[in-house]
Structure 1
Amino acid sequence: MTSSFQSPFQEDVNISTIEMHTAGEPLRIITSGFPQLNGTTILDKRKYLKEHFDHYRKLLMFEPRGHFDMYGVLLVAPDVDGADIGAIFLHNEGYSTMCGHAVIALGRYAIDHGLVKNPTSPETRVGIQCPCGLVEAFVEYQPGGSGCEEGRTGAVRFQSVPSFLFASEAVKSTVSISHPDSDDLAFLYGTIITDGKDAFSDKVTANVCVFADRQVDRSPTGSGVSARIALQYFKGHIGLGQSRTFESGATGSVFTAKAVQEVTCGEFKAVVVEVGGKAFYTGGNTFTLEREDTLGHGFLVQ
């Protein structure tokens, strides 16, 4: 019997990755074997990847190499001043515009793998261009070791693009979403379930973030706590520089976060939020695909 299966890959595949986690949430960093992306800007490259190479996302995020809640990142050349690296994020549904846990891990990865020249102690700045814009990470740096030994604390803080309260309605269908910078950023990405302690600024507050296609974040979620800080700030529960601790309802891991500056984003009042956490290495892989392996192209059991 002749199989009708048509592989989207033209040849056998070999892709190398470095594996990390931030507060329990995995990050698969693609280091080699991925095709070149066309495009001038990072949003152009993200669109090109989605339209032409989405089968690579499924190959690396789905089973048998990944799982329903796997998360990954592809490094690309940045196209804005101040960026050391560019990052396109991958998950079970598609492509994030921002990912805080990935930024924390990438900050450490960039130092350890020589992507930032002349790192300084006790902290080194790493500029990471995400699809949402330039994010600045500050990595605790301990010179004198080799490779990942130099960043053994794993501690990273980052300041993201402005966060703002777009609307406080609870029903998605009643809100028409827009973004002042790009229509590519105008969508509802996730839902955060909290313990209701927004107004209790002196207490640790827990949350669980469900994003993409029902993917559950193991960490407190960097972009999620940025959104919660913006909400609490504009409701008057916290002030500038007032730090809060956010706990993951899934693993008990924690991030700290605070609003450090009030700015504007288009017509919206916004805040720059600083988030802190730790990232660690878990290993490395070389993944292969034989074109005749139909299951090896990726599948999900839900």
Structure 2
Amino acid sequence: MSRPLTFRMMDTHAGGDVSRIVLGGIDALPGATVRDQMHYLRDDADGLRKLLLFEPYGVPEMSVDLVVPATDPEAAAGYIIMEVMGYPIYSGSNTICTATAVLEAGIVPKQEGVQRFTLEAPAGRVNIEARVENGVVEAITCEGLPSYIDTYRATIHVPGLGEVTYSVAYSGGFYALVDATELGFHLNRDEERELAECAHRIVEAIQAERGFSHYTLGDVGPLPFLHFMGPVEQVADDFYRSRSATYVHPGVICRSTTGTGTSARLALMRHEGTIAPGDRLETISLRETGFIGTFTGTREEGAHTVVENTITGKAYVLGHTEVVVNCDDPLVACGGLHHILSARHG
């Protein structure tokens, strides 16, 4: 028998999306930046992602965040995001969960009141504001990526659906934005499977027709995400609310509304002239959880007006685990693990 491999993990969730935070037991990764280290995992060591997102350890609806030493001297820690579709450079819900985990694990000493620190994502430096009350992390506010509208109200023929109107935003990934009401949805939990099937058809049709290029990143692959938008309700002079649902993978609607989906909504609302700097939008999920996006300003980047924003939410700790990886188990594939997961106890 081979010696089991072990590592430490904290399970968390924000808005219902479970993020498994890997805190120890992983060998140092090569790469001058966290982005480089993400590329190494993606190209040469994808075993950790597959291990924790599929049987017997997990399910595709989860995410994994690997905490690594920061390469940016201003950052307290780095983190690499792993999801069923691959390695996104940024995620709001994963950032909220990781920021909470580094506080709970003592990587960043927890302080009462409001405290600020910086994390390093593959997308770069992310400023964090944490609100701690009686030792409990009650809220995390993190920067959303600068977001913009690439396409406004295009139409496409989707087999089985007919003509569908959509917009496309970039907010950490390219999102198709569609009006849920136009497609006959109320965004209730009992629609979850139908929403996933509908989104998959639309995304496949868009992927077959066209690609998208970011103004600095270039080609970032086929459009992966779709965000269903419910009607917008104004609940105060500077505060709006909307039911929402985000599709990320065949069969998978996120439990939360997602931070990047919320950033995409802010970009669309600014494009349509319905919000001003300082306004907030709360997106409400199928499970009645919410994130609050705040529109903080704009700047011009070439041909695009880029929306600066923050995302606020709360993460909950679900458990602390020492994961044992037994490579003799026929359900466990260890082929992308041995060179990153040492036999030392984390």
Are 2:90 and 1:98 aligned?
Answer: yes
Which residue type is aligned with residue 103 of structure 2? I
What is the deviation of 1:173? 3.8
1:71-115 Cα offsets, whole Å, 9 max, x none, are: 110112223353222111111231111111111122222223232
Change (3 A) 1:215 1:184: farther
Q: Which residue number in structure 2 is paired with residue 85 of structure 1?
A: 77
Q: Which residue number in structure 2 is paired with residue 284 of structure 1?
A: 320
Between the aligned partners of 1:157 and 1:135, the Cα distance in structure 2 is 10
1:29-66 Cα offsets, whole Å, 9 max, x none, are: 00122233111122211111012211121111111110
What is the deviation of 1:297? 2.7
Which residue type is aligned with residue 280 of structure 2? S
Which residue type is aligned with residue 321 of structure 2? N
What is the deviation of 1:223? 0.8
Q: Secondary structure at the match of 2:332?
A: helix
Contact 2:75 2:125 (C-alpha < 8 Å) held by counterparts: yes
More moved, 222-231 vs 184-193: 184-193
Measured on the aligned residues, the alpha-carbon RMSD in Å equals 2.2
Q: Secondary structure at the match of 1:46?
A: helix
For 1:1-302, list aligned pairs within 5 A.
Answer: 12-116=4-108, 121-142=112-133, 150=135, 152-168=136-152, 169=154, 170=166, 171-183=206-218, 185=220, 187-195=222-230, 197-198=231-232, 200-202=233-235, 204-249=241-286, 251-297=287-333
Contact 1:205 1:245 (C-alpha < 8 Å) held by counterparts: yes
Change (3 A) 1:115 1:289: closer
Contact 1:289 1:297 (C-alpha < 8 Å) held by counterparts: no
> Unaligned 5+ residue runs, structure 2?
155-165, 167-205, 335-346
Change (3 A) 1:42 1:84: same
Identity of aligned residues (%): 24
Between the aligned partners of 2:219 and 2:129, the Cα distance in structure 1 is 27
Between the aligned partners of 1:85 and 1:113, the Cα distance in structure 2 is 12
Which residue type is aligned with residue 237 of structure 1? T
Which residue type is aligned with residue 325 of structure 2? L
1:214-266 Cα offsets, whole Å, 9 max, x none, are: 432111111110111111111111111111221002x1101111211112345
Which residue type is aligned with residue 53 of structure 2? M
TM-score when normalising by structure 1? 0.84
Change (3 A) 1:167 1:83: farther
Contact 1:247 1:253 (C-alpha < 8 Å) held by counterparts: yes
Richer in strand (by share):
2
Q: Secondary structure at the match of 2:311?
A: strand
Change (3 A) 1:73 1:184: farther
Which residue type is aligned with residue 229 of structure 2? T
> Unaligned 5+ residue runs, structure 1?
1-9
1:111-139 Cα offsets, whole Å, 9 max, x none, are: 2323235x554211121222222221210
Which residue type is aligned with residue 167 of structure 1? T
Q: Which residue number in structure 1 is paired with residue 180 of structure 2?
A: none
Q: Which residue number in structure 2 is paired with residue 5 of structure 1?
A: none
Between the aligned partners of 2:306 and 2:87, the Cα distance in structure 1 is 24
Between the aligned partners of 2:82 and 2:227, the Cα distance in structure 1 is 20
What is the deviation of 1:187? 4.9
1:168-222 Cα offsets, whole Å, 9 max, x none, are: 3343444431223324756523111122x25x44452111111145432111111
Which residue type is aligned with residue 252 of structure 1? E
Contact 1:92 1:213 (C-alpha < 8 Å) held by counterparts: no
Which residue type is aligned with residue 255 of structure 1? F
Q: Which residue number in structure 2 is paired with residue 4 of structure 1?
A: none
Aligned residues: 278
